Amino acid sequence: MSQVDFSKLLASPLFTGLARQEIEYLSSIFTSTQVSKGMTVFIENMPGESLYIINQGAVQISQMLAEVAEQTLIALGPGDIFGEMAVIDGGSRLATARIIEDTILY
C-alpha cells in the first residue's frame, strides 16, 4: 500500500462540493492498493464497508442471474467509483467486482 494521489481525489466526482481541506484530510485516510488481474474485490451479497476509486486499470461489475449465470453489468476504469451503495445503505454488496487488468485502487 502506498500514498494516495491528492489530485486524483480532487478530480473525483465523489468529492464535488467538498472543500480542498476536507479532500486533503480524506487523502490521508485512503490507501492505494495494487490489485492483479483476475482478483475478486468483493462478491455479491457479502457485507460491504468500503468503497473504491479506480486510479489505474479496470474492474468488471457483474451479477448472478437465477443462480446459474453471471452477467456483466459494466466495466469501469480510471476515475470510476464502485462499492459505494453498500457503504451508503449499510447493506450487502449488490454485485461482484473483479479486476480485469492490473489495477490501482483507492
pLDDT of 2 higher than 70 = no
User: Confidence band (pLDDT; 50, 70, 90) for 1?
Assistant: low
Topology of domain 33-105 in CATH is Jelly Rolls (2.60.120)
Q: Which of 77, 72, 39 is nearest to 58 (CA)?
A: 77
Highest mean pLDDT among 26-30, 64-68, 81-85: 81-85
7 or 60, higher pLDDT = 60
- Among left, alpha and beta (phi > 0; psi -120 to 50; other), residue 89 is alpha
The CA R_g of the chain, rounded to the nearest whole Å, is 14
Looking up cell 454488496 gives 93
